[in-house]
Amino acid sequence: MPNNVLVLGGSTFMGKSLLSSLSQLPDLDVHYINRGRKYWNNEVKNIKNVRYTYGNRDEKKDFTRILTYLSRKLGMEDTETEKWDAVIDFSAFTYKHIRVGLPNF
């Protein structure tokens, strides 16, 4: 069973490089959430073995729904106790962003 990795934001510079590297590791299932605005980099969208989902954490209700959906899709039925193996966050600017992106931490 692959390790589930969640990357939040970071479509340029370090994020793009990290996603490229993670996509080469066969034991990882990499999911990438980005708000898809002006920072969206089409090169990141084309990286193979990385699943992209649109999400804007400023829209807390929708973002929470996206995280819950992805978690359950990956077999984390009890999202209170079952967690992602790794979460890398390039786009948290405030404490509120962290709490929305990582509600169980």
pLDDT tens for residues 71-105?
A: 888 888 776 666 888 989 888 888 888 877 665 54
Cα 55 from chain centre: 9
Residues 56, 83: Cα–Cα separation, whole Å = 20
Cα distance between the two ends of the chain: 23
Sign of the torsion formed by the C-alpha atoms of 57, 60, 62 and 63:
positive
Q: Return the pLDDT at 100.
A: 77
The number of distinct structural domains making up the chain is 1
Q: State which residues form the domain around 56.
A: 3-101
What CATH number should be reported for the domain holding residue 58?
3.40.50.720
Q: What is the pLDDT of residues 15-69, one digit of tens each?
A: 888 999 999 999 999 998 887 655 555 677 778 888 888 888 888 888 888 888 8
The answer to whether the pTM exceeds 0.85 is: no
